[in-house]
């Protein structure tokens, strides 16, 4: 089997491509069902949470684009992915945000007995995340936590640590693309059935960083909240207008191909 799971050869029938990056048309419930299947099946399955920053980074970084497109599951993370899908004539039912998917996986893990390993974030944050999750979802089993870093020289040690912990699910919080490239290189060796890059999710769950209020998230304004709270993000967010323009261009090319 491939390092990315059997779905690599049979991508979801209902996948869309936004600027050359695959996004699976799944809801939270469907994503969770797929993840349950991955754990049952065993072997490595990488989950990616595709947002506009990922897609724009993938335009310049072919290795990152390959990792995204070969993932066993690519969830639509964010309101602007939904906008893009609608604009391309393939509307999606709901966004599946990384942090909410982490919570839902933890809730399911408390019922099924899957063991979670939390890798990454600043020292202490993964431990605090574990405490919050086990309080919120009684019965949840945490196989281990470790901050470490995505530096190549740390990989062997980190892989050995996760392997010894015997986790079914591995969350990696090193930010994109480092976390997703890390998983593509190492997930198979960790023994975990599911590996997912989770960005700043631990920071939110541990309470180190506050999430945008629900009304802002529902209106697709999470980016504005993050920009106000974490202004150093402006450079990363500067890609968003370019994302909008590129999607509009993709949709006009697609419609001209349909007409002619």
Binding site for ligand UDP (CB under 6 A): 120-122, 149-150, 173-176, 199-200, 202-203
* Residue found by looking up tokens 């089997």 in the block: 1
Q: What sign for the dihedral angle of Cα 176, 177, 182, 187?
A: positive
Dist. CA 88–CA 197, nearest whole Å? 26
Q: Give me the least distance between CB of 210 and ligand UDP, in Å please.
A: 12
Report the nearest approach of ligand UDP to the CB of residue 72 (Å): 20
The least CB distance from residue 52 to ligand UDP, in Å, is 11
- Rounded to a whole number of angstroms, the CA Rg of the chain reads 18
Of 144 and 200, nearer to ligand UDP (C-beta) is: 200
Q: Which is nearer to ligand UDP, 75 or 110 (CB)?
A: 75
Can you read off the two tokens belonging to residue 138?
């009684």
Nearer to ligand UDP, 119 or 192 (CB): 119
> Which of these, 100, 185, 126, lies nearest to 116 by C-alpha position?
126
For residues 120 and 174, is the Cβ–Cβ distance under 8 A? yes
CB of 6 to ligand UDP, least distance (A): 27
Q: Are 61 and 177 in contact (CB under 8 A)?
A: yes
Q: Structure tokens of 209?
A: 């960083």
When the beta carbons of 76 and 200 are compared against ligand UDP, the nearer one is: 200
> In the complex with ligand UDP, which residue's Cβ is closer, 8 or 240?
240
State the minimum distance, in angstroms, from the CB of residue 217 to ligand UDP.
14
């Amino acid at each position: 089997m491939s390092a990315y799971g059997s779905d690599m050869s049979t991508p979801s029938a209902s996948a869309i491509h936004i600027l050359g990056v695959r996004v699976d048309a799944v809801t939270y419930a469907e994503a969770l069902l797929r993840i349950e299947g991955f754990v049952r099946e065993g072997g490595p399955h990488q989950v990616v949470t595709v947002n506009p920053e990922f897609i724009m980074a993938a335009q310049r970084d072919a290795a990152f684009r390959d990792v995204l497109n070969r993932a066993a599951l690519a969830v639509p993370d964010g309101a602007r992915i939904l906008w893009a899908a609608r604009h391309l004539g393939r509307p999606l039912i709901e966004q599946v945000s990384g942090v909410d998917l982490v919570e839902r996986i933890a809730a399911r893990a408390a019922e099924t007995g899957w063991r979670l390993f939390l890798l990454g974030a600043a020292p202490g944050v993964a431990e605090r995340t574990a405490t919050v999750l086990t309080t919120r979802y009684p019965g949840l089993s945490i196989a281990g936590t470790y901050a470490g870093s995505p530096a190549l020289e740390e990989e062997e040690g980190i892989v050995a640590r996760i392997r010894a912990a015997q986790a079914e699910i591995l969350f990696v919080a090193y930010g994109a693309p480092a976390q997703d490239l890390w998983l593509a290189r190492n997930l198979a060796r960790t023994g975990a059935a599911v590996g997912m890059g989770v960005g700043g999710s631990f920071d939110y769950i541990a309470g180190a960083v506050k999430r945008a209020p629900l009304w802002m998230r529902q209106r697709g304004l999470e980016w504005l909240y993050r920009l106000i709270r974490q202004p150093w993000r402006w450079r990363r967010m500067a890609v968003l207008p370019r994302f909008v323009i590129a999607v509009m261009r993709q949709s006009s090319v697609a419609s001209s191909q349909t007409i002619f």
